[in-house]
Chains A and B, each alone.
Chain A
Amino acid sequence: MRITVDRELCIGSGACEALLPDVFEVGDDGVVTVLRPEVDPDVADEVRDAVAQCPTGALALASEGDGPAG
C-alpha cells in the first residue's frame, strides 16, 4: 500500500504529522510531504487513522497495481 496526497486539498493541518511524525511532515510550502509513502506494516493501523482523520480528505491509500488516481 502507498500513501497518496492531493496537494490541492491539503491545508497543512498537521493532523497526520501529529500521529506519525516519521511518516508525514508539513513542508515550508504548507503542504504535507509523505516521508515514507510505502506503508510500513508495523504502523499500518496508525496510517489508516491518519488517512481517516485528515480534515480535508487529502490523504488516501492506494493498493499496489492501482493506477496513479488510486
Chain B
Amino acid sequence: MTVDALPPASIDLDAVDLSDRDWWAGPPARRYATFARLREERPFAFYAEPEIPMLPSGPGYWAVTRYADVEAISSQPAVFCSGRGAVSIQDIPADLNEFYGSLISMDDPRHAKIRRIVSKTFTPRMLERTVDSVRAVVDDVLARARQTAAAQGGHVDVVADLAAPVPLRVICDMMGIPEEHRAMVLAHSTVILSGGDPELIEDQEQQLTVFLQAGMELAALMEALAAERLERPREDLTTALVTTDVDGERLSHQEIASFFILLLVAGNETTRNAISQGVLALAEHPEQRARWAGDPGLDRTAVEEVVRWASPVTWMRRTATRDGEVNGHRFAEGDKFLLLYGSANRDPAVFRDPEVFDLGRDPNPHVGFGARGPHFCLGAHLARREIAVTFRALLDQLPDLEVTAEPDRLHSSFVNGIKRLPARLTGVR
C-alpha cells in the first residue's frame, strides 16, 4: 500500500467544512493538505457548528491549526477554560457536560483535586508493576488472533482482533471489571465516542438518546461495582474512586459515575485507534516496519511517532472566559476554540519533514496527548506502555501480518478512528 501526498494548492479552502463528519472519514491526504493550507492562510478558521438533533447550535468555533496557537491556548486554562465543554462543539446542558466529560470538562481547582485521586495509579513507577500483565494480555490477544485467523482462512480484522482487545482488557483489569461485562463496556464506549457515525447510531434523530443510554448502562455497571467495593475494597481504580476523600468529602454519586465512564472510554478508544493507525502506517511504510522489527531499541521514539502520526484524539475544545488576544488573534468572551492536535502535530514550524513517518524522530514534542496545561492526558504513560508492548509483540510474533484492504474510517471529527482494518496472516493456510 502506498500513500499519495496531496499538494496543498489543490485544496479549495472555501469548500472545506470541518463540521462535516463525512469529511473526516475521507482520505487523510486531503485532511493533511487542508491543514497545511489552514496553518498558512487561516490559522484561526471560523466554522458553523454541526447540527445535532435536539441540541441547539451555537455561534460557531475557531479551528486552531498551528502548533504555537494550540500550545498558547492550552497552557492558559484561566483564559481558555474547559468547564463550558471540552468534548462537544455544542454547549450541552451543564449536568450532561460534566457527566460525559468528567475531569476533561472541569476547571481547576476542582479538576486538579479530583484528578489527583487517580494520578498515582498512572505514573510510570506504578505502571512498572503492570508491565507483566500488559505483556500477558498482549500475548493472549495475539494467540487468539492467530486462532481466529486459522478459522477464517488467515483473515483477521486488526481492529476487532488486535487493537480493541488490548486496551479493553488492560483498563478493565485496572478497574476490576469482571470478564462478563467487557463486551458491553466496549460497545457502549464505542457509541459514546462514535461522533454520531451512522453505522454506530442508526437512528440519527435519536443520537442524543442513544448516547445517553450508553452512559446510563455504564453508570449502572459502576453502581453495582461501587456497592461491592465499599463493602470489600480492593486494589483497583474503582475502589479508589469510591473510597477517596477530596477536601474531606467523598465524590458525589454522579462524579464517581462520570469519572468511571471517562476512564473506560478514554482508556479504550484512544489506544485502540493508536494501535490501528500504527498498524496501517507500518503497512504503508514497509521500510519503517522493517527498521522497527529489527531494532527493539527504537521502541521509545517509535511509540511517540505512532502517537504523533495517529493523533487519535483530533481535538479538544476551549472557551474564552474573557476578551483578549492570542498570538495576534483577537477573541471575545465566549468564543470557542477547537485545538486540532493532528494539525499541530504536522506543523513544519516545529517538526522537520512533518509528512514523513519516521520512527526514529527525536526530539518529537507532539501534542498527541494534549498540549501543555492541566488537562494533559492522564493515561499517557499507560498508553505508551500498551503501544510499545503491542507493537513489539506484533513485530516479533505476527511478522506475517499483512493489511489487505483500505480501512473503514470513523465518521467523526473527534476521534481519528478506524472501524475495520482487514488483514491476513500469510503464514496461516
Contact = CB atoms under 8 A, between A and B. Distances in A.
Interface of A: 8-15, 17-18, 21, 25-31, 55-57
A44 B118 CA distance: 30
B121 to A, nearest CB: 9
Given A26-B125, A56-B376, A11 B381 contact: no
A11 B125 contact: no
A31 B116 contact: yes
B233 interface: no
* Most central of B75, B120, B123 by chain A CB within 10 Å: B123
Interface string B375-391: 01010110000000000
Contacts of A27: 120
B112 A11 contact: yes
Nearest to B120: A26
A6 B146 CA distance: 50
A18 B124 contact: yes
Interface residues of B, number: 22
A13 B111 CA distance: 13
A8 B373 contact: no
B285 interface: no
A39 B16 CA distance: 52
Given A8-B109, A21-B125, A57-B75, A14 B119 contact: yes
Contacts of B117: 30
Given A18-B381, A56-B376, A11 B119 contact: yes
B374 interface: yes
Contacts of B123: 12, 14, 17-18, 25-26
A36 B373 CA distance: 25
Contacts of B109: 8
Contacts of A55: 370, 372-374, 376
B23 interface: no
Contacts of B116: 11-12, 29-31
Interface in B78-123: 108-109, 112, 115-120, 122-123
A17 B117 CA distance: 17
Contacts of A30: 115-120
24 contacts: A8-B108, A9-B374, A11-B374, A12-B116, A12-B119, A12-B120, A13-B378, A13-B380, A14-B124, A14-B125, A17-B123, A17-B125, A21-B125, A26-B120, A29-B116, A30-B115, A30-B117, A55-B374, A56-B372, A56-B373, A56-B374, A56-B376, A57-B75, A57-B372
Nearest to A13: B376
Contacts of A29: 116
B82 to A, nearest CB: 13
Interface string B384-405: 0000000000000000000000
Given A21-B125, A27-B120, A12 B115 contact: yes
Contact of B376 (A11, A18, A21): A11
Contact of B122 (A8, A14, A56): A14
Contacts of A9: 112, 374
A27 B376 CA distance: 18
Nearest to B376: A55
A34 B166 CA distance: 34
Given A8-B108, A12-B115, 10 more contacts: A11-B115, A14-B125, A18-B381, A25-B123, A26-B123, A26-B125, A28-B120, A30-B119, A56-B376, A57-B372
